């Protein structure tokens, strides 16, 4: 199972269920993510997109079902989540940069702690990624002095420093001004071009349309429809998908 | 100047009439200084102490007195004008003219200076005189306590200085060592308290985490739910009883399990529970996203806590933690119940010798107040160093601990909660 090839999915979600109290957020979700694929998850607020994403690296514990990642079931009891998470980078809506560290330390904390990398080596790697997101000059800056767009780009660089196989994006641009959304999306486009496997929860329909290999539309805790961007945006079949996209096209 | 004036008047219109009268054009100058002048007059009417330097300059004091009176008269006129011309006061009153305002301000400095001189002459010199009288009385062949209140207090302080000093040092030692040791114990305890069952944990780890959390909860409830005075007695006599089971003699036990040691252990264990809750409040007020981000990178719960959450949480906890030192200075006084020779015990000892309960208690009040004020000031500097807003002296806000400690209120409050809320060290 652990052998990796292009025909085997990197992530396989089977029969995933999750409730918060009496509220059923995810109802029997099945989804495969192939290596190198960019999957975007769209849908109205409260449809369970973020919860699904957070189940992939077990920030939310599923009630039932399986989340296979490279052949290991993350949902199993006593599984070593920590070492699996090292291969899954995550970018949050609220950035969540460590406030008690500067930009560079944010990026080097995990590699130094977990990969037993030397400080200088970790800093070299971090500088490479910071440079790629255009923030090499801010390496020594305090996190609180950055703009939202800069923070999010640092957050992406921080995740990349662990050299992950999979990147999860939880509404990465929702907390940003419309003007600076572009700089973050540009970084994400670059990642996609480099062949990174990505699962992106987003409200940026243009991004979903142009960058993703597959689009998943979620509604009320189930995957209502999925397909290529052309299928979903060109000829949506499900009435809820049509309704949802129509509202976006009005803008 | 004119723009400043118009903004003042704008502010006046937004406030109520009474409030604007006190706060705007007359705020410090007429009314505030009138209060100062009254204090000066009151002091001037007091009998001169032996060391008064104004006793040699009677005319000077007379002039000073009439200057104070003159200020009150001017203020009264200002008040009368305001009452008479309530609506048009800003336009018609001579007091609102810039030049007059400036003169009034300078005159007010003179009034302050006069009062200051009178304070030095009457209060400072008064205490000095009383002290010299007391020392003279004490150094006679057969010492006899002088009659006056102040002289009596000075006499008691002078005669009992050795006792007071011993008690003072013990109190400081108890508070400082107790707080510092309690801080480290609280660090350990809070780590036990905030453990949550994590996915990768095996059953062994899960068991010990549950034990740790349970212990911390029970400890906190018991310690915060019982008075420290009772804790001191249970601990002192309990451990004493344990020692009795050995072959040690009572004298030997008293040498090992001293009242100071018992007091220190009590104050440490007591403070640990409170500090743990303060730390927990600080940790819980760190945004949950910080922990999530650290965990998403693959850090274990312990690593995420240690590197990310805890350094931020302790910053929030600093005001509450430093507060604990001030509280311990005051609360060490209950340890006198087991005979710990602290400042309180010294006070009762001295008061017993001279049969002067009130005067002795007053001395102790001043000492405790000076000590807590000094500690507050020092901790304020310390907190500033960490870029944390210190708790203002005189507030009784729960801000330092309020966040994330809902359970605190569910437990019976610490003994003497009321007096804890006293001088700006409320929790």
B contact residues 127-146, partner A, Cβ 8 Å cutoff = none
Chain B closest-CA separation from residue A234 CA (Å)? 35
Token pair 């209120």 is found at B409
Contact A113 B307 (CB under 8 A): yes
Per-block mean pLDDT, blocks of 10 residues, chain A (251 long): 62 93 92 94 90 92 91 85 92 93 94 90 94 92 90 94 94 88 91 94 91 93 92 90 85 62
Rounded Cα gap, residues B299 and A162, in angstroms: 11
Residues of A in Cβ contact (< 8 Å) with B290: 96, 98-99
pLDDT of B417 higher than 60: no
Nearest to B293 among A61, A80, A92 (CB): A92
**Within an 8 Å CB–CB cutoff, is residue A129 touching chain B?**
no
Question: What value, to the nearest 5°, has the Cα angle with vertex A151 and ends A146 and A155?
Answer: 150
Distance between CA atoms of residues A197 and A159, nearest Å: 13
Of A60, A110, A162, A167, which to mutate for an interface test with B (greatest number of B Cβ within 10 Å)? A110
Q: What is the least distance, in Å, from the CA of B375 to any CA of chain A? A: 28
Using a CB–CB cutoff of 8 Å, tell me whether B294 touches chain A: yes
Per-residue pLDDT at B41: 94
Tell me, what's the pLDDT at B188? 93
CB–CB contact A90 B290 (8 Å): no
Residue in chain B closest to A79 (alpha carbons) equals B200
User: What is the structure's pLDDT at B387?
Assistant: 63
Nearest to B312 among A82, A99, A114 (CB): A99
Q: Which residues of B are less than 8 Å from A199 in CB distance?
A: none
Angstrom distance (rounded) from CA B277 to CA B284: 10
Under 8 Å between Cβ of A139 and A131? no
Q: Residues 142..181 of A with a Cβ closer than 8 Å to B: which?
A: 155, 158-159, 162
Closest-CA residue of B relative to A76 is B199
Residue B66 confidence (pLDDT) above 50: yes
What is this structure's pTM? 0.77
Distance from CA of A159 to the nearest CA of B (A): 7
The reported pLDDT for the residue numbered A6 is: 56
Q: Is the pLDDT of residue B15 over 80?
A: no
Q: Which residue of A has its CA nearest to B292?
A: A59
- Chain A CB within 8 Å of residue B300 CB: yes
Q: Which residues contact A57 (CB under 8 A, 6 or more apart)?
A: A74, A81, A84, A85, A88, A90, A168, B296
Q: Is residue B413 within 8 angstroms of chain A, CB to CB? A: no
Question: Is B296 within 8 Å of A99 when comparing Cβ atoms?
Answer: no
Contact flag B287-A96 (C-beta cutoff 8 Å): yes
C-alpha dihedral, B359 to B361 to B363 to B369, nearest 10°: -150
Whether B288 has its CB under 8 Å from any CB of chain A: the answer is: no
Minimal C-alpha gap between B163 and chain A (Å): 48
Beta-carbon-side half-sphere exposure of residue A73 (alpha carbons within 13 Å): 11
User: What pLDDT digit, counting tens, does each position of B174-193 carry?
Assistant: 999 999 999 999 999 999 99
With a CB cutoff of 8 Å and minimum separation 6, the contacts of B243 are B253, B256, B257
Question: What integer is the mean pLDDT of B393-417?
Answer: 37
A16 and B CB contact within 8 Å: no
C-alpha distances in Å from residue B420, one per residue of A78, A164, B134, B395 = 47, 53, 35, 12
Chain A: residue whose CA lies nearest to B288? A96
Dihedral angle of Cα A180, A250, A224, A198, to the nearest 10 degrees: -20
pLDDT at residue B401 greater than cutoff 70? no
**pLDDT given for residue B395 in this prediction:** 37
User: Which residues in chain B touch residue A83, judged by CB atoms under 8 angstroms apart?
Assistant: 298
Task: Flag whether residue A199 sits within 8 Å of chain B, measured between CB atoms.
Answer: no
Supply the pLDDT for residue B398.
35
Q: What is the mean pLDDT of residues B373-388?
A: 82
- Write out chain A residues lying below 8 Å of B295, CB-based: 59, 82, 85
Nearest CA in chain B to A161: B297
Residues sharing a CB contact under 8 Å with residue B219, sequence separation 6 or more, in sequence order: B189, B272, B273
Confidence class of residue B22 from pLDDT cuts 50, 70 and 90? Answer: very low
- What is the pLDDT confidence band of residue B390, given thresholds at 50, 70 and 90? very low
**Cα–Cα distance list, B106 to B3, B77, B99, B110, B357 (Å):** 22, 18, 11, 7, 46
> Is A68 strand, coil or helix?
strand
Give contacts of A100 with chain B, Cβ < 8 Å.
Answer: 308, 311-312
Q: What is the dihedral of CA A212, A217, A222, A226, to 10 degrees?
A: -60
Within 8 A of A58 by CB-CB distance, chain B residues are 199
Q: To the nearest whole angstrom, how far is the Cα of A197 from the nearest Cα of chain B?
A: 16
Residues of A in contact with B198 (CB under 8 A): 81
Cβ pair B297:A159 closer than 8 A? yes
Mean pLDDT of all residues in chain B?
Answer: 83
DSSP state at residue A248: H
Q: Are B427 and B403 in contact (CB under 8 A)?
A: no
Which residues in chain B (341-360) have CB-CB distances under 8 A to chain A? none
Once rounded to an integer, what is the mean pLDDT over residues B124-151? 88
Of B198, B293, B312, the CB nearest to A100: B312
* Res B63 pLDDT > 60: yes
pLDDT of B6? 47
B141 against A189, higher pLDDT: A189
Strand order in the sheet with A214-219: A88-91, A166-170, A197-201, A38-43, A214-219, A222-227
Q: By percentage, how much of chain B surpasses pLDDT 90?
A: 54
Please check the confidence at residue B409 and state whether its pLDDT lies above 60: no
Quote the crossing angle between the two packed helices B357-385 and B310-331, to the nearest 10°.
170
- Model confidence at B323: pLDDT above 80: yes
User: What pLDDT does residue B27 have?
Assistant: 55
Give me the sign of the Cα torsion angle B168, B172, B174, B175. positive
B303 to A77: CB separation less than 8 angstroms, yes or no: no
Identity of the residue in B297, B311, B312 whose CB atom sits nearest the CB atom of A110:
B297
Tokens of A179: 């003007």
For residue A1, the tally of other CB atoms under 10 A from its CB is: 9
Selected for mutation to probe chain B from A106, A109, A142 (highest B CB count within 10 Å) is A109
Least confident of A204-218, B48-62, B237-251, B408-422: B408-422
Interface touch A100/B303, C-beta < 8 Å = no
SS (H, E, C) chain B: CHHHHHHHHHHHHHCCHHHHHHHCCCHHHHHHHHHHHHHHHHHHCCCCCCCCCHHHCHHHHHHHHHHHHHHHHHHHHHHHHHHHCCCCHHHHCHHHCHHHHHHHHHHHHHHHHHHHHHHHHHHHHHHHHHHHHHHHHHCCCCCCCCCCHHHHHHHHHHHCHHHHHHHHHHHHHHHHHHHHHHHHHHHHHHHHHCCCCCCCCCHHHHHHHHHHHHHHHHHHHHHHCCCHHHHHHHHHHHHHHHHHCCCCCHHHHHHHCCHHHHHHHHHHHHHHHHHHHHHHHHHHCCCHHHHHHHHHCCCCHHHHHHHHHHHHHHHHHHHHHHHHHHHHHHHHHHHHHHCCCCHHHHHHHHHHHHCCHHHHHHHHHHHHHHHHHHHHHHHHHHHHHCCCCCCCCCCCCCHHHHCCCHHHHHCCCCCCHHHHCCCCCCC
């Amino acid at each position: 199972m652990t052998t990796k090839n292009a025909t085997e999915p990197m992530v396989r979600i089977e029969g995933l269920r999750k409730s918060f109290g009496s509220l059923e957020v995810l109802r029997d979700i099945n989804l495969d993510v192939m290596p190198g694929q960019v999957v975007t998850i769209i849908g109205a607020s409260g449809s369970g997109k973020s919860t699904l994403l957070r189940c992939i690296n077990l920030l939310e514990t599923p009630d039932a079902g399986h989340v296979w990642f490279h052949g290991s079931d993350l949902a199993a009891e006593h599984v070593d989540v920590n070492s699996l998470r090292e291969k899954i980078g995550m970018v949050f809506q609220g950035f969540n940069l460590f406030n008690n560290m500067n930009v560079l330390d944010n990026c080097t904390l995990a590699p130094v702690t977990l990969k037993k990398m030397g400080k200088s080596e970790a800093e070299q790697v971090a500088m490479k990624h910071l440079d790629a997101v255009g923030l090499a000059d801010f390496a020594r800056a305090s996190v609180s002095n950055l703009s939202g767009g800069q923070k999010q780009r640092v957050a992406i660089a921080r995740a990349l420093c662990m050299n992950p196989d999979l990147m999860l994006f939880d509404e990465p641009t929702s907390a940003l001004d419309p003007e600076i959304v572009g700089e973050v999306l540009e970084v994400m486009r670059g990642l996609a071009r480099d062949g990174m496997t990505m699962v992106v929860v987003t409200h940026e329909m243009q991004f979903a349309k142009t960058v993703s290999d597959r689009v998943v539309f979620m509604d009320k805790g189930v995957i209502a429809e999925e397909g290529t961007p052309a299928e979903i945006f060109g000829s949506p079949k499900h009435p809820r998908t049509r309704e949802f996209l129509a509202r976006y096209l009005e803008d | 100047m004119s723009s400043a004036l118009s903004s003042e008047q704008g502010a006046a219109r937004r406030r109520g009439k009474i409030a604007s009268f006190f706060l705007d054009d007359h705020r410090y100058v007429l009314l505030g200084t009138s209060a100062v002048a009254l204090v000066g007059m009151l002091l001037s009417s007091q009998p001169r102490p032996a060391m008064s330097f104004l006793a040699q300059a009677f005319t000077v004091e007379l002039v000073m007195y009439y200057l104070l009176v003159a200020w009150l008269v001017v203020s009264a006129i200002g008040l009368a004008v305001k009452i008479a011309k309530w609506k048009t006061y800003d336009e018609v009153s001579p007091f609102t003219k810039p030049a007059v305002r400036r003169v009034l301000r300078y005159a007010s400095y003179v009034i302050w200076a006069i009062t200051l001189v009178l304070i030095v002459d009457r209060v400072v010199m008064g205490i000095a005189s009383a002290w010299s009288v007391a020392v003279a009385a004490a150094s006679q062949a057969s010492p006899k306590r002088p009659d006056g209140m102040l002289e009596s207090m000075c006499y008691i302080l002078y005669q009992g200085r050795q006792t007071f000093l011993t008690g003072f040092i013990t109190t400081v030692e108890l508070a400082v060592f107790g707080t510092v040791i309690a801080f480290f114990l609280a660090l350990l305890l809070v780590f036990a308290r905030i453990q949550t069952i994590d996915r990768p944990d095996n059953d062994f780890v899960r068991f010990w985490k549950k034990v740790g959390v349970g212990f911390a909860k029970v400890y906190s409830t018991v310690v915060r739910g019982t008075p420290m005075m009772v804790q001191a007695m249970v601990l002192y006599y309990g451990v004493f009883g344990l020692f009795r089971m050995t072959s040690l003699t009572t004298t030997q036990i008293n040498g090992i399990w001293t009242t100071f040691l018992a007091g220190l252990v009590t104050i440490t264990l007591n403070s640990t529970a409170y500090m743990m809750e303060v730390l927990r409040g600080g940790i819980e007020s760190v945004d949950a996203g910080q922990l999530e981000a650290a965990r998403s990178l693959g850090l274990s719960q312990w690593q995420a806590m240690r590197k990310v959450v805890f350094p931020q949480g302790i910053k929030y906890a600093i005001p509450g933690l430093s507060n604990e030192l001030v509280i311990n200075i005051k609360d060490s006084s209950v340890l006198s119940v087991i005979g710990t020779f602290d400042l309180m015990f010294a006070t009762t000892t001295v008061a017993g010798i001279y049969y002067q309960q009130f005067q002795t208690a007053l001395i102790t009040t001043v000492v405790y107040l000076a000590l807590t004020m000094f500690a507050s000031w020092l901790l304020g500097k310390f907190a500033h160093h960490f870029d944390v807003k210190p708790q203002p002296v005189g507030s009784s806000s729960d801000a330092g601990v309020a966040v994330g400690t809902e359970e605190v209120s569910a437990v019976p409050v610490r003994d003497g909660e009321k007096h804890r809320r006293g001088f700006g060290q409320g929790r």
